[in-house]
Amino acid sequence: MRNVWTIARREIRLYFASPIAYIIGLLIFLISGIYFVLSIYLAGQAAFTTGSTTAPGPDLVIGLMVFLFLFAVPALSMRLMAEEHRNGTLELLLTAPIHEWELIVGKWLGSFLFVFLIIVVSFIYPIVLNGLVTPGIDQGLMMANYLAITLVAAAFLAIGTAISSFFNNQFAAFFATLAVLFFLWVVIGWPAVVMQGSGGIFNYLSMSTHFSSMQAGTVALSDIVYYLSLTGLGLFLGTVAVEIRRWK
């Protein structure tokens, strides 16, 4: 684990020194902030004009943030392994006394902690919202939403790390990750819609199905297992990719 942390620490430092990471963080908060303010303003307007009593819930920004992660994660994960390969530093890491999985998990952990920080900062939204609505927000629902976005981020980044391990070019890794995430989030659920009753397996495989049920406040063990399995699979494939590079 010590090696994992050594690798992760370097990655976190790199994110904080990278303009791309700051731009991504800024864009996420800019877009979600505007959305948050507008939603509250519109809810206030509705209450004033139509007497509506429906206040925005703690899930207000989470759905949007996950959508933004679909694009942000590939941009954050694309260089993790591809750059090491391009710079020749992979040779340095693979001749150091560390295991391949430690390298992959360390890379993933570094990127995860950066994204987790974004998630933590976004706590400001439910806190503000809590002060605006009476009798405050549903805290259980809030926790379910934050658990969901954290699990989604972990799985997204594991997939991104794995794909980055297969590529030498980080832009190729970006587009491949974007395509795979889009497939797992949207496309894989389509057969379930078409097949209606018999498409359960596609529903289960779709990342968005699990997210939606957690976002609505139902935290099932199967949802947690699904995201953790996907994260584990990503990290496993990343490790395999590094081993393939060794043998090639």
Partner 1 sequence: MIRTTNLTKDYGARRAIENLTFEAKQGEVVGFLGPNGAGKTTTMRILAGYMPPTFGSAQIAGFDVVEESIEVRRRVGYLPETVPLYSDMTVFDYLKFMADLRHLPNADEMVDNALEMVQMEQRADGYISNLSKGMRQRVGLAQALLHKPEVLILDEPTIGLDPAQVVEVRGIIREIGKERTVLLSTHILSEAQQLCDRVLIINKGRIVAEDTPENLQARLVGAERSILRIKGDAEELMPIISKIIGVQDAKIRPDGAVEFQFAPGVDVRPEVAKTVINSGFDLLELSPVGLSLEEIFLELTRDDAPTK
**Binding residues vs partner 1 (CB under 8 A):** 2-3, 6-7, 10, 14, 17, 87-99, 246-248
Nearer CB in complex with partner 1: 91/127: 91
Geometric angle at alpha carbon 197, from 196 and 198, rounded to 5°: 100
* 30 vs 96 by CB, closer to partner 1: 96
The nearest distance, CB 69 to partner 1, in angstroms, is 25
> Nearer Cβ to partner 1, position 55 or 94?
94
Q: Residue 246 CB, nearest distance to partner 1 (Å)?
A: 5
Give the per-residue SS3 of the chain: CHHHHHHHHHHHHHHHCCHHHHHHHHHHHHHHHHHHHHHHHHHHHHHHHCCCCCCCCCCCCHHHHHHHHHHHHHHHHCHHHHHHHHHCHHHHHHCCCCCHHHHHHHHHHHHHHHHHHHHHHCCHHHHHHHHHCCCCCCHHHHHHHHHHHHHHHHHHHHHHHHHHHHCCCHHHHHHHHHHHHHHHHCHHHHHHHHHHHHCHHHHHHCHHHHHHHHHCCCCCHHHHHHHHHHHHHHHHHHHHHHHHHHHC
Minimum CB distance to partner 1 smaller for 48 or for 247: 247
CB of 148 to partner 1, least distance (A): 34
Cβ at position 108, least distance to partner 1 in Å: 17
What does R_g of the chain's alpha carbons equal in angstroms? 20
Q: Which is nearer to partner 1, 87 or 218 (CB)?
A: 87
C-beta closer to partner 1: residue 83 or 138 = 83
How near is the Cβ of 88 to partner 1 at its closest, in Å?
4
Whole-number minimum distance, CB 86 to partner 1, in Å? 11
CB of residue 104 to partner 1, shortest distance in Å: 14
Most distant CA pair in the chain, distance: 68
Nearer to partner 1, 9 or 219 (CB): 9
